[in-house]
Amino acid sequence: MRCYQVLLPILFGLILVMALIFNNYEEHSFFHIKINHGNISIEQALQKLPTCTQDDGPRQRALLYALQQWTYFAQQHNIRYWIAYKTLVSYVQHHSLSPHDLDIDLFIMAQDTSQLAELSQFNFSSIYELKVHPQWFIVGETKCSYFYSEGINFVAPNARFINRKDHIHVDIWPMYDYDPSETRMEKNRKPMLTEYDEYYNWKSSPQEWTFPLQECLFSGIKVWSEQYNPQYWITFGTLVGYVQRRGLLPHDLDVDVIMMSDDTPQLIKLSQSNISSDYEIKVQPQWYIVNETHRSYFREQGVNFIAPNARFIHRETRQRVDIFPAYDFNPLYANKSIENKQSENLTIYDLRYRWLSYPRNWTYPLKTCYFSDIKVLCPSEPEKLVATIYGIDAITKSDTKCVNGRWVRNV
């Protein structure tokens, strides 16, 4: 009974985090942006924000009104943008403004800054103004200068949407469709986007993590967010539990899920955010090394595992969801760097940590299923996978039974 009481809330927590950024969205083409705001009550959103000092309330109010006016402005001029950095983290954590934030962060594609430069020439508002850095086309903030006489006291963002009175602002950061740090482009490379990280180094991610943009509610304001849609499916003992009883096996000690190994950087991004006071994500620093026997433990970082790529852990009980990798190629026979098309097979560890390849259509398309009444994603052919990994008997027969108050092998 205790397994149910502990593991099921942890699984529910993982599902909540995976869904956190893309649930309750509507998907739209990012070429034609139309948002109908309707009656949005910023004051209602402000009532839910905690304050610590007497200045917090006025600052929070000014930030949300600045963001709202930006969204109106962007809709009017068909400007493609999406929330970024601390604003995105705050959305992940609370779906709202962080109570201590001093500004709002947005991305636009760097080449779209020319449109902002044209719009900044117009006096479109008596309250707000748009300041575009005169050297926005120079890649790398260290190469840019300040233009204090023009009110440009920034170099890293390409532009700012500013309240003329209190100077509360929305920072508009560039996103590039190439990596400025690379001297040559690789052939057959997946389309990437590149941004500054927190240390102003270049950080790249697949375009499919961002586009198509998704509409979301941020403190009651409709804004655009990156797609950021990590896919997972239940596996190993958890999948056996689903096939046998549509729920947790009573003797299970953890929950097992799988993600494509290439999606692990999304978990890294989440692990760097304080997603929950109750749960944390630990990612194996050497997750990109395919063979787990070549990985090391990083106990000082709380990583006491090598085979899963990551773990979703309850901070107090240390109960966990293991997140294992799946590969588009078989590490025994293929080199990922020369794979030019999607493989017909997926490859995972078997029970003895040997490579097991099976048809891709046993997993995709993923389907929604209910595991102990928790909505999760399942592979399309769960019975075939269980039979392949555990044997045909595992579809209906448990390998463990309770004898005299102990779980023993059911032979």
Average pLDDT over residues 166-179: 96
Angle at which helix 236-245 crosses helix 382-390, to 10 degrees, equals 120
Least reliable range by pLDDT among 108-122, 143-157, 174-188: 174-188
Average pLDDT value over all residues in the chain: 85
In this predicted structure, the answer to whether residue 39 has a pLDDT above a threshold of 50 is no
Whole-number percent of the chain with pLDDT over 90: 56
In this predicted structure, the answer to whether residue 51 has a pLDDT above a threshold of 90 is yes
Least reliable range by pLDDT among 22-26, 251-255, 287-291: 22-26
Amino acid, res. 96: S
* pLDDT recorded at residue 225: 87
The pLDDT tens digits for 328-374 are: 887 776 555 444 445 789 999 998 888 999 999 999 888 888 888 88
* pLDDT recorded at residue 23: 40
In this predicted structure, the answer to whether residue 137 has a pLDDT above a threshold of 80 is yes
In the chain, the domains with their CATH numbers are: 2-16+230-409 (3.30.460), 24-225 (3.30.460)
* pLDDT recorded at residue 268: 86
